[in-house]
Structure 1
């Protein structure tokens, strides 16, 4: 029997036969995340750590246009002090760490755009199934001029290597499904949305049937192999970007739909 555990306008969660399904439900905004959505995602992961009825989590964006297009730009409009940027990146680090350390396996079912914070969420999941029209990237160098946190850079580097991380961010390009699969950003590619739902469900049921302690031990072992710098070690980089004139220019340019004029200051 399907049990509706939680439902709110922007993020939906259901549990059915051990499979927890999380849907980012803002298709009109390409499923861009509000701060409340980040917090709700962390709450669900925390619940999965103690609720043994949850065997696996599947994350998906509503509609067929996007998995998640990062953080909603409007969340940045109130940024004025150095602490605003630090607090934001600390929030993202905390939520992604909660997702990464979640007791149960996590599967990202990706179609369409998967960018910025959405790509960071997908990269943190254990498995990623995409469709032929999936496009993944971190186009921040041509949009806002901000930066990824040390934790996000660490996870991404461990997943695809330092050279590819630089390539993605320096070029601000979005990687298509075929290339994404070849470099490890996707573990599997299917044709379309219908095939994605079917395959994500198959993988979730397969994983849910396996020994939970084996899966948990493997997750922890892999995490222990990946060096993590402290939040403090990356704060100078966060401040350099978020307190810059370029960040304000990028934000204004994005909201007014014009090309930003970067000054490097």
Structure 2
């Protein structure tokens, strides 16, 4: 792995860090792939008992997919392949052999929030902000699988609230929603996250694994939603959203 992500094992805890603080840890395809490889590594290493994911710099866990990556989506199949690739990674994280924890400081939006939603436990610094502001920024959509994860986690009404208003919610509201289980001061986040990871790592692994798998089996199977992905990602609005975002101006939505 390169220094855009970091992987280190400390005792029984594997630490994975998104390491682009200068870009608010915006996720490149390479960073997504590094996360996938980290999960595979954890699955193979029986000395690891928990995986702790965080973002470097204290300003963001991960601020979504880097806009530059979307420039490569030039056909319907490119768009479908993008969501298929991301789903492969998120599904692997969700089914990781060991408990996964997200330590969230600052912005946790878009793809970053989707990653956090796949973790078993989430704790946040008091300055954390969560959301999927795509209706205000790019005009794209989530995959059906990600809508399903969020509905399973916080309910359909709150998913609509987040998507339709495109607002970012603070840590306290995120806890009320069920997005995070605990809030700590920013300077105490990593120490508390490591403490929680060690607690979980010390518990019966088969009990934790059975619980993870049982909850996944309770979730109904999802359709692919490829038609919805193509509709949004191949639209004039999505192109306008990207151009407006990069130019730091409001987009002119047309619904086409």
1:23 counterpart (17, 28, 46): 17
- Name 2:185's counterpart in structure 1: 191
Q: How do 1:196-207 and structure 2 match up within 5 A?
A: 196-207=189-200
Note the alpha carbon deviations across 1:62-115, whole angstroms, 9 max, x for none: 011100001000001122111111111111111000000001000000010000
Q: Which residue of 2 aligns with 1:240?
A: 231
Q: What SS is found at the alignment partner of 1:77?
A: helix
Corresponding position of 1:86 = 80
Q: Which runs of 4+ in 1 moved over 2 A?
A: none
Q: Which residue number corresponds to residue 40 of structure 2?
A: 46
Q: d(CA) in 1 for partners of 2:198 and 2:160?
A: 36
In 1, distance between residues paired with 2:61 and 2:218? 28
Establish whether residue 261 from structure 1 lines up as the match of residue 252 from structure 2. Answer: yes
The residue that corresponds to 2:243 in the other structure is: 252
Aligned residues, how many? Answer: 256
Q: What is the CA–CA distance in structure 1 between the aligned matches of 2:11 and 2:72, rounded to whole Å?
A: 42
* Per-residue deviation, residues 110-133 of structure 1 (Å, max 9, x unmatched): 010000000000011000010111
* SS of corresponding position for 2:255: coil
Matched with 1:221 is 214
CA distance in 2, matches of 1:97, 1:10: 22
Secondary structure of 2:17's aligned partner: strand
| 1:170 and 2:161 aligned | no
Distance 2:207 2:198 in 1: 16
**Which piece of structure 1 moves more, 42-51 or 201-210?**
42-51
Give the superposed CA RMSD: 0.8
Post-superposition shift, 1:230?
3.4
TM norm structure 2: 0.98
Give the secondary structure class of the aligned counterpart of 1:90.
helix
Q: Could you tell me how far apart the structure 2 residues matched to 1:114 and 1:213 are?
A: 30
TM-score (norm 1): 0.95
DSSP-derived class of the 1:240 partner:
helix
